[in-house]
């Protein structure tokens, strides 16, 4: 018998359960609708390529949304990415594979490029988080492990999904340097929380009640 080589996925990650995925898409729409209607947002449309006080439909602006909502743990590109073989062979990864996890979402954010959810990884989830995930995209900065964890909810035209985690790290970098953003409004209902503005069209909603979504850790083969 021939010994088959194990195939590596496009990426490993936590995939939202169908029902929670539908809920998350609704929450994302609600966030963009309420954010777009904030007076403070309407006055700051320039970073979104619009004149101030013009109408901007954020649901249309973020034209693309991933087919399957997920939180990427390790991007492998079917093994082309250095270290993906080692990652897949880790005991913690094998053990986590096909297991259920609850993802904790503490904030939603929008920038001129992406809209996403900040995921607060729990200790058992951090076991499968790559040590170099943050350094990989921001080599000059230091972040707590797991800082890049997010769910891409949408991207503007011509923007790659990978940008969402980079945008999230940009918020965290500003927070680390003591710039917590300007409190410019509040959202209500399912997306209740404080909205802060961080310049350059960067908006962050700190949720009053953290969202919890069910997910399964697995590989996506495309």
Binding site for ligand A2P (CB under 6 A): 10-11, 66, 72, 75, 152, 160-162, 164-165
Say which of 29, 104, 150, 183 is annotated catalytic.
150
| Beta-sheet pairing, 203-220 with 70-75 | unpaired
Residues 69 and 151: beta-carbon distance below 8 Å: yes
Q: Which is nearer to ligand A2P, 9 or 193 (CB)?
A: 9
Q: Shortest Cβ distance from residue 75 to ligand A2P (Å)?
A: 3
Q: Which is nearer to ligand A2P, 72 or 218 (CB)?
A: 72
Question: Is 104 a residue of the active site?
Answer: no
For residue 98, how far is the Cα from the chain centroid? Answer: 21
Written as one string, the DSSP assignment of 81-138 is STTHHHHHH-HHHHHHTT-EEEEEEEEEEE-SSEEEEEEE--HHHHTTS-TTHHHHH-
> In a 10 Å sphere around its CB, with 0-12 CB exposed, 13-18 middle and 19+ buried, how is residue 81 labelled?
middle
Residues 203 and 107: beta-carbon distance below 8 Å: no
> In a 10 Å sphere around its CB, with 0-12 CB exposed, 13-18 middle and 19+ buried, how is residue 68 labelled?
exposed
Q: Which is nearer to ligand A2P, 44 or 148 (CB)?
A: 148
Q: Shortest Cβ distance from residue 166 to ligand A2P (Å)?
A: 8
Q: Which is nearer to ligand A2P, 187 or 202 (CB)?
A: 202
**Measured between alpha carbons, how far is 130 from 35 in angstroms, rounded to an integer?**
33
Q: Shortest Cβ distance from residue 8 to ligand A2P (Å)?
A: 13
Q: Shortest Cβ distance from residue 215 to ligand A2P (Å)?
A: 13
Question: Is 150 a residue of the active site?
Answer: yes
Task: Report, as residue numbers or ranges, the catalytic residues.
Answer: 70, 150
């Amino acid at each position: 018998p021939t010994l088959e080589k194990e195939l590596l996925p496009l990426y490993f990650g936590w995939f939202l359960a169908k029902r929670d995925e539908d809920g998350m898409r609704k929450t994302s729409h609600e966030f963009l609708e309420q954010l777009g209607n904030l007076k403070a947002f309407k006055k700051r449309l320039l970073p979104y390529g619009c004149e101030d006080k013009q109408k901007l439909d954020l649901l249309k602006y973020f034209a693309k949304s991933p087919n399957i909502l997920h939180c990427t743990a390790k991007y492998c590109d079917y093994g082309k990415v250095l270290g993906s073989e080692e990652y897949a062979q880790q005991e913690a990864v094998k053990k986590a594979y096909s297991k259920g996890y609850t993802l904790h979402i503490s904030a939603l954010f929008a920038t001129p490029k992406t809209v996403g959810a900040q995921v607060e990884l729990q200790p058992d989830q951090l076991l499968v988080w790559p040590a170099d995930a943050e350094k990989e995209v921001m080599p000059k900065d230091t972040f707590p492990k797991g800082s890049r964890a997010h769910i891409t909810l949408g991207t503007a035209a011509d923007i790659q999904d990978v940008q969402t985690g980079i945008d999230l790290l940009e918020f965290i970098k500003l927070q680390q340097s003591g710039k917590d953003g300007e409190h410019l409004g509040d959202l209500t209902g399912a997306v209740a929380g404080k909205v802060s503005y961080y310049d350059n069209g960067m908006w962050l909603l700190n949720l009053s009640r953290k969202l919890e979504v069910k997910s399964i850790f697995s590989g996506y083969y495309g």
